[in-house]
Amino acid sequence: MQRMNTAAWVQREMAGKERLIRVARGEEKADLVLKNARYLNVFSNEFCQGDIAIAEGKIAGIGKYEGIEEKDVTGRIVCPGFIDAHIHLESSLVEPAEFARAVLPHGTTTVITDPHEIANVMGTDGIQYMLEATDGLPLDVEFMLPSCVPATPMDESGAELDYMTIDPFFSHPRVLGLAEMMDYMGVVQQDPQALSKILASQSHHKKIDGHAPGLSGKSLMAYIAAGVYSDHECSDLENALEKLRLGQFIMIREGTAAQNLHALLPLLKQQYDSRCMFATDDKHPNDLLFGGHVDYILREAIGCGADPVSALKASSFSAARYFLMNNKGAIAPGYLADLVILEDLSGCTVLEVYKNGKAVYADHQVLPFETPKVTPELWEKARNTFHMDPVAPAHFAAGTLPLIGMVDKEIISRNCGTAQEIQPEKDILKMAAVERHQETGHIGLAYLQGYGLKKGAVATSVAHDSHNIIAVGASDEELAFAVEEIRKMQGGIVVVEGENVLACVPLPVAGIISDAPLEEVNAALEEAKQAAYQLGVSSGIDPFMTLSFMALPVIPSLRLTTKGVFDVERWEYIR
């Protein structure tokens, strides 16, 4: 059967291959020729000049060519389509088709996504949902399978994925490996669950991405020896160089929640560029609309003095090599014609984008494309992910609780002892983590300092990584009202005062994604932010992003889960 399938494929592809060769030889006109192109040669680390001939979705040749369609790009820069090496598409808060419409104008033609946000809610159904929702987009969406669902055994998520559960997905043609192994201490301490997932990926000859902030010395060597090939958590040059010298690839991250580009700029030179690539990790609507995507990182890097060739290679070629996408990331015969036309190198303004030789962005607009369809069963499951009873103020009543202190401009926290009651005038609020997947009725409680809220409450079902409901309020009554609003609308973000909803952002898809256009989602999100600020939330923080990370029990020092306050450094509950 395999031999017959191979024969059929060869027969089907033969005509296209023959025509590509004829165009390359100059015996037949190309489909499209970009005339007089100044293009990046990633192999010789220089900018070259010539006509780029495109046929059958690939680059046929470079030199002097004629085409059925010809476009003069004199004075412009042509470079390979940009690749985001690590992103969680769910962080954009919109469906994948909307994400594609947002990033195509920024030159992105491929992203590698880790769907662990939706997998924490829906398990393998979440992975399948994202595979179907990205199928056929004018943007290649490749996948790394979630390695930590839940992030730790301390979480209560909607699913638990072991290596046997995810193993069947490795055979999917768009699955490239195992996503960020966040449980790095589990790997170092030879935890069978962590190691079995690495071994499963290796058995399929796939990549394993890392997530090991600050890991160093012999523990780092053990982590790498186990088979972890990359890291996107480097926040300082010394740690990045240590990892690079030990063989890891470095994903230079510049997203909404974490920005490491400026600290790692010295890596963007020819000595290191073959081991470096760009990643955003999380990219929120406002950033996508008004900041950019990979083009933003490229623009910032070059503007700060990075070698343009190295920066451009990090935006495409290095990621393609790392993920074994051997026909991407370069402008050369036989490579896919995923191309970006830049106005110049100083501003890196994207003028046009081509995917497989076809224009997907031109004349300041994304060309129309069909939105992928998700099977009805999955569509319904994704919109029915709340399994919890109604809550009342009595569920949030408590006396003495641990006091978690926020750290300015950071997502880490500190242990501030205990508090006895809500005192908004002293910036002491009550925070709750409410389980919403399995009807356990679990509600974790703590006091929070540093958020700034003077009245009302804020709640969201975007609560990393298990995506229960995380809420903070100036009274038990407002906490209960905010959580109930999230339950009733099956997910989202809400800002309330008394029994009035001041602003809300519905997220009906798994409680973490909207089905509205990006512009509408961004407008609602910005309105909600302003409502939160008017209630006193400190202007220097993002009211919802900051809150969402307070539930992630892998970030020191204290976090709030549905089971109570967890001390990350001591790895134990303190209440």
CA-CA distance, 222 to 185, in Å (whole number)? 10
pLDDT value at residue 1:
33
| Chain centre distance of CA 456 | 31
Contact 100, 113 (CB under 8 A): no
Closest CA to 444 of 461, 455, 453, 432: 432
Q: How far is CA 478 from the centre of its chain?
A: 32
pTM value > 0.75: yes
Contact 81, 108 (CB under 8 A): yes
Partners of residue 346 on adjacent β-strands: none
Burial class (CB in 10 A: 0-12, 13-18, 19+), 368: exposed
Q: Is the peptide bond before 461 cis (omega within 30 degrees of 0)?
A: no
Question: What value does the mean pLDDT of the chain take?
Answer: 95
Question: Which stretch of DSSP H or E encloses residue 17?
Answer: helix 2-24
Please list the residues that pair with 573 across neighbouring strands.
566
Counting every residue written for the chain, the total comes to 575
Q: Which amino acid is at 543?
A: P
Return the amino acid letter for 212: A
Cα 126 to Cα 161, 303, 343, distances in angstroms: 11, 39, 39
What pLDDT does residue 575 have?
67
- Which pLDDT tens digits describe the chain residue by residue (575 residues)? 344 588 888 888 999 999 999 999 999 999 999 999 999 999 999 999 999 999 999 999 999 999 999 999 999 999 999 999 999 999 999 999 999 999 999 999 999 999 999 999 999 999 999 999 999 999 999 999 999 899 888 889 999 999 999 999 999 999 999 999 988 989 999 999 999 999 999 999 999 999 998 899 999 999 999 999 999 999 899 999 999 999 999 999 998 878 899 999 999 999 999 999 999 999 999 999 999 999 999 999 999 999 999 999 999 999 999 999 999 999 999 999 999 999 999 899 999 999 999 999 999 999 999 999 999 999 999 999 999 999 999 999 998 999 999 988 777 899 999 999 999 999 999 999 999 999 999 999 999 999 999 999 999 999 998 999 999 999 999 999 999 999 999 999 999 999 999 999 999 999 999 999 999 999 999 999 999 999 999 888 899 988 999 998 888 899 999 999 999 888 889 96
- pLDDT reported for residue 60: 98
Specify which residues 288 forms β-bridges with: none
Start-to-end C-alpha separation, the chain: 60
pLDDT at 116: 95
**Helices 237-245 & 217-225, crossing angle to 10 degrees?**
50
Contact 224, 247 (CB under 8 A): yes
Q: Which helix (H) or strand (E) holds 483?
A: helix 476-488
Which residue in this structure is represented by tokens 């962005």?
Answer: 361
pLDDT at res. 4: 56
Number of H helices, E strands in the chain: 18, 28
What percent of the chain is helix, strand and coil (3-state, nearest 5)?
A: 35, 30, 40
What pLDDT, on the 0 to 100 scale, is given for residue 248? 98
* Residue 384 burial (C-beta neighbours within 10 Å; 0-12, 13-18, 19+): exposed
Domains of the chain with CATH codes: 2-75 (2.30.40.10), 79-363 (3.20.20.140), 383-573 (no CATH)
Specify the pLDDT at position 556. 85
pLDDT digits (tens, 9 = 90+) for 303-322: 999 999 999 999 999 999 99
